[in-house]
Amino acid sequence: MKRPHPVSRTVPHIVVVGAGFGGLMVARHLREVDADVTLIDKYNYHTFQPLLYQVATSALTPEEVAHSARGIFHRQKNLRFYMGKVEGVDFAAKELELASGETITYDYLILAAGASTNDFGVPGVKEHAFYLKTIPQALHMRAHIITQFERVDADPKLLEKGALNFVLVGGGPTGVEMSGALVELFTHVLKKDYPNIEVSMAKVILVEMTDRLLGPFHASSRQNALDVLRRRGVDVHLNEAVVKVTPTEVHLKSGEIIPCQTLIWAAGVRGNPLVEALDLELTRGFRIKVNEHLSVPGHPEVFVIGDLAGSVDENGQLLPQVAPVANQGGRYVAELLRRKLHGGPKMTPFRYKDPGIMATIGRAAAVAELPSGLRFRGFTAWLAWLFLHLIYLIGFRNRMSVMLNWMYNYFTYDRSARLIVDVIPDVPAYSQATFVKQEEKLKEPVLRD
């Protein structure tokens, strides 16, 4: 079934796949371009991934870190949003294939479908680990964490079986942020919720393969993150790796076996599974190879931006999979298409301008580094982190709500979003076919014993 062309057939049709950072940026900047734009996403909302860990640890609600995709584009007359999962592309026919069986034709295609979690083939991870890339995954993790406390409250013997051992894998920003937030949740909030549980028995264990946390940061920032986490009670294992996971144990390379029912995998990303259906040349990390104008070699009408793109810097090094790369790629491709359709000088190659890096470690603790070499840490870096995340969050209502929530959490040490509302991760409701799959999934137990 062919999906009709959205507005007219008199101007080119630009299709953007993915309403993440890159997709939103390119779609917005195509506002003034004489073209029909279709934005497709498997969810009907944009997810602000950097704050997902706050949903998983009960600090924020999903609605505060996501925004309706249709709502974002109310005033953009040349854009239509379509909820659907893209499963393939016929590059010769210039046609997208959707999970619903529909097809959509394009004149220009921008792939911005992001990345997925890389389990590196470690046995048991796919089956038993919790991931943090989507709202359903964050909600599922939140429900599981609090359920573990409910279970131990009902049966304290489960403590000996590791029911309150939480192992995080990966000492990058997500692992650091998540472990810092977990100890705070336990010591400030769940301690009061569960007076019958000795909450100090709950362990947060962060496992990192290399000898350092926050790899790309300066040594002093890395040391600060390590010191703060250890001081706050996180058990950090450096030069250690997870080699096997079962529903009740995590096996480490050193031979240690940790009784554990919660493994949070923050160890790596790889290109979206969509790449497997595309038959395009890939770079390391299953990202699509692009040229200096972010288009696919041999397909000048197809562009790839953000986490999915194997875009490189002037030294040929792959760019990091972070929001500013996706945003700048989106702006670049929109301008390239504007010049192509309206006339203008040829674009110079895409060059990423690094705005600096930052990571929060927990309450009033963060590290931030500017390209000039200026470094901040502690309360100042934490305030900068809060401020920047508020600025980049989509929607005025979300910004106000998050700001109020953060102030409330800071002054009261409380976290109001600690409800057990479980969902089935990775099963978006985008088509009838999915509903059938969802029903099948519902028959499976959701929470792990």
Catalytic residues: 177
CA distances, 424 to each of 43, 84, 265, 343, 444 (Å): 14, 18, 17, 48, 10
DSSP string of 291-314, one letter each residue: -TTSEETTEEEEEE-GGGEE-B-T
State the minimum distance, in angstroms, from the CB of residue 113 to ligand FAD. Answer: 4
The helix/strand/coil state of 128 is helix
CB 43 within 8 A of CB 72: no
Burial of 123 (0-12, 13-18, 19+ CB in 10 A): middle
The helix/strand/coil state of 365 is strand
State the minimum distance, in angstroms, from the CB of residue 420 to ligand FAD. Answer: 21
Token pair of 94 as six digits: 């210039």
Q: Which is nearer to ligand FAD, 61 or 272 (CB)?
A: 272
Q: Residue 328 and residue 340: Cα distance in Å, rounded?
A: 18
Contact string 125-154 vs ligand FAD (x = CB under 6 A): -------xx---------------------
Q: Residue 210 and residue 64: Cα distance in Å, rounded?
A: 34
Which one of 26, 27, 53, 152 is in contact with ligand FAD (CB under 6 A)?
53
Q: Residue 291 and residue 333: Cα distance in Å, rounded?
A: 12
Which one of 38, 50, 111, 141 is in contact with ligand FAD (CB under 6 A)?
50
Residue 124, interface with ligand FAD (CB under 6 A)? no
Q: What angle do CA 101, 281, 297 make, to 5 degrees?
A: 95
State the minimum distance, in angstroms, from the CB of residue 389 to ligand FAD. Answer: 8
State the minimum distance, in angstroms, from the CB of residue 449 to ligand FAD. Answer: 26
Q: Which is nearer to ligand FAD, 134 or 249 (CB)?
A: 134
Contact string 366-385 vs ligand FAD (x = CB under 6 A): --------------------
> By CB under 6 A, which span of 19-27, 59-67, 221-229, 372-380 interacts with ligand FAD?
19-27
Residue 171, interface with ligand FAD (CB under 6 A)? no
State the minimum distance, in angstroms, from the CB of residue 114 to ligand FAD. Answer: 3
59-88 positions binding ligand FAD, by CB under 6 A? 85-86
Which one of 13, 14, 15, 20 is in contact with ligand FAD (CB under 6 A)?
20
CB 41 within 8 A of CB 69: yes
Q: What DSSP designation does 350 have?
A: P
Residue 170, interface with ligand FAD (CB under 6 A)? no
Q: Which is nearer to ligand FAD, 133 or 418 (CB)?
A: 133
State the minimum distance, in angstroms, from the CB of residue 241 to ligand FAD. Answer: 21
State the minimum distance, in angstroms, from the CB of residue 32 to ligand FAD. Answer: 21
Helix (H) / strand (E) containing 70: helix 69-72
Residue nearest to ligand FAD (CB): 20
Selection from 254, 283, 276, 1 nearest residue 113 by Cα: 276
Which one of 26, 27, 39, 40 is in contact with ligand FAD (CB under 6 A)?
40
Q: Which is nearer to ligand FAD, 242 or 304 (CB)?
A: 304
Beta-strand runs (E) in 4-147: 13-17, 36-41, 45-47, 66-68, 79-83, 86-90, 95-98, 103-105, 108-111, 115-117, 129-130
Q: Residue 195 and residue 229: Cα distance in Å, rounded?
A: 25
State the minimum distance, in angstroms, from the CB of residue 116 to ligand FAD. Answer: 8
Contact string 279-318 vs ligand FAD (x = CB under 6 A): ---------------------------xxx----------
Q: Residue 19 and residue 125: Cα distance in Å, rounded?
A: 28
The helix/strand/coil state of 153 is helix
Residue 52, interface with ligand FAD (CB under 6 A)? yes
Residue 274, interface with ligand FAD (CB under 6 A)? yes
End-to-end CA distance of the chain: 43
> By CB under 6 A, which span of 2-10, 45-53, 214-222, 281-289 interacts with ligand FAD?
45-53
Residue 104, interface with ligand FAD (CB under 6 A)? no
Interacting residues toward ligand FAD by CB under 6 A: 17-23, 40-43, 47, 49-50, 52-53, 85-86, 112-114, 132-133, 173-174, 272, 274, 306-308, 321-324, 326
